[in-house]
Amino acid sequence: MASSAQPASGASRAVVLRLDDLALPPRYLTVPSHLPVSDLLGSLPLPSSSYYLTADGRPLPGSSPVSALPPSASVQLRLRALRGGGGDGGATGAESRDCYLSMYLTKKPDKADPNEARLSRFTCCALSGEPLAAPAVADRLGNLYNKEPLVEALLHKRLPKALSHIRGLRDMIPIHLHPRPDAEAAGEEVRFQCPITGHEFNGKYQFLALRGCGHVLSVKALKEVKSSACLVCHKEFDEADKMPINGTEEEVAVLRKRMEEERGKVKEKKEKKVGNGLSGNKHATVAAAVAGADKLENGKKGEAASAKRFKAADHAPAHANKEVYASIFTSSRKSDFKETYSCRSLPLGRN
């Protein structure tokens, strides 16, 4: 099979098969010109999927006839890249393509889109995730809620830890959101807007809630129209009444500090009120003691001043028997007890 004979004339041709990738010496073959070049590897126990042939550096289809080889008649056998199990760090069980497909086609968790998250904060309840609808409220940090699920969670003590700053109805500020015309009928996600500038309530624009009246206006509207009264209901407000809706971390920190200060003032006021109440009771007790001392001084020595005794007979209605009327308020005399057929009177002190 292997020989160093020159190429025969006619239907045979000499071919050099180089096996450098297998670390084997080249083979000199003489084969018929009409055979495909793949037959040159008949003596090598290699699957067809593990190699390919090249001629002068170019891939050579295995079905090409030997007669199509270039004049050099040199064919190079090249091994395909190993797919694991060959000491290259691949897994020995990765012979099947399904392993790669299952590895790379596994759906990875989607990353939260910041735009979607921002839009959700302005269009949905921060507790239930439902679309915002009247009646809506805001907490003291500027988060938005539907009032009904928030009150229900508060009553049943099911508020998450992140909302522990909401302790009662005083921490809920009723707000009024101005609806966009025909937005709800069209099924649009953004259903509210600024009543002055028309800016959509979608998180792209800054909004403020006025704590006094609850109207929600864009920051641009309050900057363009300089006024100390609400631009909707004309109710007066001061700078402390402006509360950012879904503000930045710095704005939320300011709101949290203000909330703690307000709670501290309320607590201090309650403690002061309770202290005043205790002080008043103490003074009343002292006054009563002084009055009792005066009575002792005005009465006999060692005896309190005698109070007038109540007599029911003195307050009997007109045309009423005084003795009968007085018996209503006094106990019966022993001589009035009489035995009858159905009732036997008991001596006094035993009934």
Domain limits, the chain: 13-79, 115-249
Under DSSP, the state recorded for 212 is T
Question: How does the average pLDDT of the chain come out, rounded?
Answer: 77
Cβ partners under 8 Å of residue 325, min gap 6: 312, 313, 316, 317
Burial class (CB in 10 A: 0-12, 13-18, 19+), 150: buried
Place of tokens 């003032």: 265
Integer Cα distance of 303 and 104 in angstroms: 104
The pLDDT confidence band at residue 307, using thresholds 50, 70 and 90, is: low
Encoding tokens for residue 71? 């004049």
Domain 13-79 is in which class?
Answer: alpha beta
Q: How confident is the model at residue 278 (pLDDT cuts 50, 70, 90)?
A: low
> How far, in Å, CA of 166 to CA of 264, rounded?
15
Residue-wise pLDDT tens digits, 197-240: 999 999 999 999 999 999 999 999 999 998 899 999 999 999 98
pLDDT in tens, 76-105: 777 776 554 445 555 555 455 666 666 666
Could you please state the CATH topology (level 3) that the domain comprising 115-249 is classified under: Herpes Virus-1 (3.30.40)
* Residue 290 confidence (pLDDT) above 70: no
pTM for this model (two decimals): 0.49
